[in-house]
Structure 1
């Protein structure tokens, strides 16, 4: 079949009320009746671009080869059929919308095209004609905009790409979809113990101390667990921003798997959730605005994702900056917000070698008016694990290490499964000593921020959000004085949090911790609490991993392996480990796995460092991360995996097993209507066929 027929098939697959018109070629004009030979088809990169994209490239010379057709600047000519080529919405006369008709006869919404001109475009988006008469005076917003799809070009065209410095208009992203449910104002504090979504338990290290004995480094465990909720109607809607690396190293199977993973994410968002997509390579740009994931929104998001073309360098900072602007510029806010950032390379644009100020430099790029967790994903063996871990740590997110390409979808699924199940927000835990002689020496809270009073009498832990069924454990370290009384009251604990659905601020007294003070303690009273011991082991192992990672980076792999081995042996001798505690078993397995990945320099550089950072991230935040080559089937990962996360991963794996070919990235369950399913299948199949082999 000739290329012309193939492209007419493509136009049928992509037609959303638009008509694709093939340009006439020299071959067509000379032998229109011949079917024995066909003209060369356009490049796959052009074919993969969705409707509404500007195809012509004024920097690219026309073909002079005698073996193929000559293409004009505008490879495709779009017949708009009363559709604005900028926002893709219908142009209607007499409805209060100003319409601009250019000298080339193409029409656009005045507001859309004036913003386009403001950004520096002085040529027609359709036919690439140079305009002498320009639309001026338009506002900088585009309320009628429904979708903009603009894939990144190759490094040789970087001068034509928008950047934050060359194109100031891109700094305003206030065209997010209106939220039909609105925004509810936060209510006053409300004590409501019966309906609280948080369960709190307190465990002293020992149940008793002799009256005549003082004790330092005495641990009290604060155990928190969020309630479980089921059903989409009981969860808070999500604003999700995905920041995706499409540099040259992502080409081939990587970018195809990324598209499939994003399609899975889109499929599992609800109609009240919103999604925005940012892509970065040598520079960055917003590929898709913050839109509600209705049936139409999902289809448009799929088309945007499938327009991705991998090429260029890696500018993580610019992608992060654009993603932060999407968050800060939005006019409306869903109760839950989150960002997912994936990269497979090193940021070779932002920081000089040495990274003395890496944390400060990247912290300055994060949104300040709305602090949201950034969950980072290191893809493959060449990504910058330290940088991605730093970004996640300073934003209260997590860092996942995706070692095997095929599990990228599972890693995304696990993260989204959590974000779609937030039941507690802005949780803070206040602690105060009761006995006048007792002092709080420290609080072991991992990556969570703590504030301690200078007199050691009170403290506070900022916990943030909890997913349904998530648990948090914090150790409060006390200095306990002698006491001739029969008992000593140690601590009182109070919790405050916001319900993400009702927006009520709920506060309650979580209880007090007391210990007995007999003159002599029994053997049973000398038994250390298993709950406290297992959490102490978690902190010790996390610290050991961090120390081993530093030693390995300094070139002392033998010392690092020895340190991990010694810690594994000590762990096996603890009370909780000997009792068969599952967390201790998981910690032991991770220590062993990290030793294997530090056996030689090559292994450490390719997988060991990233594995260490992802393990540290998981244990310090007490949240599941992907590390190694799987997100399930391993006790070391299930230690923090909730039911919602596990169900989403299982769903991902079922789909992946049913459709192992990444180039056939279709899922008929994406839309409940057969019409949308058919259209989505046609669109995805067309894009898959046109990818370079």
Structure 2
């Protein structure tokens, strides 16, 4: 047994002896073992009260520790001793050794006295769950120790005993026992700044303000929303509004016979956002061009909520820091960023800062100072991030959060795989991230589930509830690419608060269904009017909404007017309200007879997309119930129907992507283990992508072709290419993603 005792006066004594060489009472020796939770051959540095230190025997024979002679430090006897090691962190925090007993929680590991409240002294419970008398650990910390004497875990909060005189408090101490002191003197402080290995001073976390209104002032003030309203007839051409949202409509068939009714007739509404005012043609844009690009887009308020629990230790945390560095470097001087880290608790690392040169440098330094330990408290991290958004004094036009976690939330009563956990989490989510909340600001949360142990159900629920997307990151090396794709979209928002309104024209026509995925849809009671709340669009982003109506018999007209489409949105830079109408009313011909008619390719593609999304949801429900055979069968039937459609036979790219996706899901439902570790997350990420019609990263995307999806925009592609160029600077770089549109040129509307 080797123990190294430190006295409060700074003296150091070594005990290098067996039990026969140490003059220690047996009960005390037992208490030492129990309090430290160690075996006989373990070694630790332990703070010790001077009055309780036993007498020391003579040094052991010189040959006793010959096997450890190369280790440090050296004890008083000239023999080198083994230093303690930090336990391997896990998602549940730093753990006690397996051989510790419950009795250890009742004994102070420093003075070996019983830990019982009500004896005139406080009990300090450290972040690693070890307990000490406050005066004992405060005295230990006074000499510079900022880690647990038992497990050596680094502490973020240090116990400190304030040097306040008795007279100042108007009372005196009568106890002759040094540690029975007035505990009103005790407090907890944060450690002073630490010097990192690279010589930079890592900032410590000062006490957070009650109100997070210390954000940097925004540099671009928005005009009043009521200032102007632009329509297609008098559209403003000031360099910002040089294009409007493109609105097209497609009917399932071009004609229906006069004497024939058609139930479930499909009409497609296609929207496409304009391009950015200035769009980089390649990933090497810099200097004045980059500055101009940042000035001619909507600035972003971004809050990154990062998991720094014990399971993120090592390569995961290093790659996360690198990915955040990429985000910071690609934000403009008008964008603002705040970072929230969470483990057992959540901390605001820094307030909303503008990403000027100074802001970037300080942000990178703060991110690099992150360390991993403790549990996983996702709900608390979200609450703190939402508070940053709601308390801010200034607001940029675009607001969003990104959330990354690799583990289960260890602070909520949920089932990691069961659907019942969803209802529990709804009450934990901040009200401000709900799209239907009273808040006038939408705050979508784009979530990233990392690795095989994350809670995919929770992460998908958070994104779905807030209006964000859920990405599944299976490979550690793809964190930066996934972040790049996300911010590539956020930094190109060109349309906000988009709302689509549809109204039937013919008095006999009613809407059967408005298929809009996760977008909020309202249908009037008479089913003649409806609206779809689309929200924000990235530059050149597309949306497709499929409506179904019943076509009545019309013997007296050669054509039937079906419906009118109207769009209204706000431009994020000028804050002007733009009102758009479709080029004309949606009509179909009503001949006496119709020959064989081809189904519209555009309508057929969107039917396939919706059919595939429904099959994914059904297969997931079956897999969650343990019926993987049925789940695989559902996906196989969908693939077969898909292959028989007009668009699939024509080689449509969207159909090819859907088929590959369904096949991948089948493989990830091969057995229970594969489904639990990656299948569920992959399916949920796919559902998120199709329900919002927005690109998500999923699976092992180390091959660049995996990130090419149906909903990627040119801005996303450019940002991912930039990310991959920064990672791989050799001649054998990964092939660049195609900076082309997601789909081939569309056919003319019918």
User: For 1:591-670, what aligned pairs fall within 5 Å after superposition?
Assistant: 591-630=662-701, 633-634=704-705, 637-658=708-729
Please show how residues 412-491 of structure 1 align to structure 2 within 5 Å: 412-484=483-555, 485-491=557-563
Matched residue, 1:358: 424
Between the aligned partners of 1:121 and 1:505, the Cα distance in structure 2 is: 59
SS for the counterpart of 1:358 is helix
Q: 1:306 aligns with which of 368, 387, 399?
A: 368
Conservation of the 8 A alpha-carbon contact between 2:694 and 2:711 = yes
Structure 2 unaligned residues grouped into runs of 5+: 1-78, 88-125, 134-139, 147-161, 165-184, 194-200, 236-241, 280-292, 732-750
- Say which structure, 1 or 2, has more relative contact order (CA 8 Å, 6+ apart): 1
The SS at the match of 1:634 is helix
2:590 to 510, 514, 517: 517
Q: Residue 188 of structure 1: CA displacement? A: 4.7
The change in CA–CA distance for 1:434 and 1:188 in structure 2 (over 3 A counts) is farther
The alignment's C-alpha RMSD in Å is 3.2
Q: Is the 8 A contact 1:149 1:307 kept in 2?
A: yes
- Which of 429, 442, 466 does residue 395 from structure 1 map onto? 466
Residue of structure 2 in register with 1:346 after alignment: 408
Counterpart of 2:476?
Answer: 405
2:225 is the alignment partner of 1:186 = yes
Alignment-derived partner of residue 342 in structure 2? 280
Q: Which residue of 1 aligns with 2:174?
A: none
1:122 CA drift (Å): 5.4
Distance 1:456 1:57, change over 3 A: closer
Q: Kindly state the Cα deviation for residue 520 of structure 1 after the two structures are TM-superposed.
A: 0.5
Following superposition, the deviation at residue 249 of structure 1 comes to 0.8
Inter-partner Cα distance in structure 2 for 1:126 and 1:447: 47
Q: Residue 220 and residue 505 in structure 1: after superposition, are their counterparts in 2 closer, same or farther (change >3 A)?
A: same
Structure with higher Rg: it is: 2
User: What secondary structure does 1:462 align onto?
Assistant: strand
**Is 1:220 matched with 2:228?**
no
The 1-side partners of 2:483 and 2:405 are apart by 13
Contact 1:148 1:287 in 2 (8 A): no
Q: Which moved more, 1:464-473 or 1:649-658?
A: 649-658
The two structures have a TM-score, normalised by structure 2, of 0.67
**SS where residue 712 of structure 2 aligns?**
coil
Query: Are residues 366 and 149 of structure 1, via their aligned partners in 2, closer, same or farther at CA, if it must alter by over 3 Å?
Result: farther
Q: Could you say if the C-alpha distance between residues 316 and 121 of structure 1 is closer, same or farther in structure 2, counting changes exceeding 3 Å?
A: farther
Gaps of 5+ in 1: 1-36, 46-55, 63-69, 77-101, 105-119, 129-146, 152-160, 163-168, 661-693
1:327 Cα deviation (Å)?
A: 0.4
Distance in 1 of aligned mates of 2:231 and 2:248: 18
- Aligned-pair CA distance for 1:501: 0.2
**Matches of 1:594 and 1:197, distance apart in 2:** 38
CA distance in structure 2 between the aligned counterparts of 1:38 and 1:198, rounded to whole angstroms: 74
1:246 equivalent among 308, 320, 323? 308
Matched, 1:175 2:237: no
How big is the shift at 1:150? 4.3
* 2:170 alignment partner in structure 1: none
Task: Quickly say closer, same or farther: Cα 1:255–1:182, change in 2 above 3 A.
Answer: same
Higher helix share: 1
Aligned position for 1:237: 299
CA gap 1:378/1:642 in 2 versus in 1, 3 angstroms: same
Deviations 1:43-95 (A, max 9, x none): 999xxxxxxxxxx9999999xxxxxxx9854469xxxxxxxxxxxxxxxxxxx
SS in 2 for 1:357: helix
Instruction: Give deviations 1:452-488, integer Å, cap 9, x for gaps.
Output: 0010100000000000010000001111111121000
Aligned length: 534
TM-score by length of 1: 0.72
Which residue of 1 is the match for residue 9 of structure 2?
none
Say which of 184, 187, 200 aligns to 2:247: 200
How many angstroms apart in 1 are the aligned matches of 2:467 and 2:480? 22
CA distance in 2, matches of 1:387, 1:211: 52
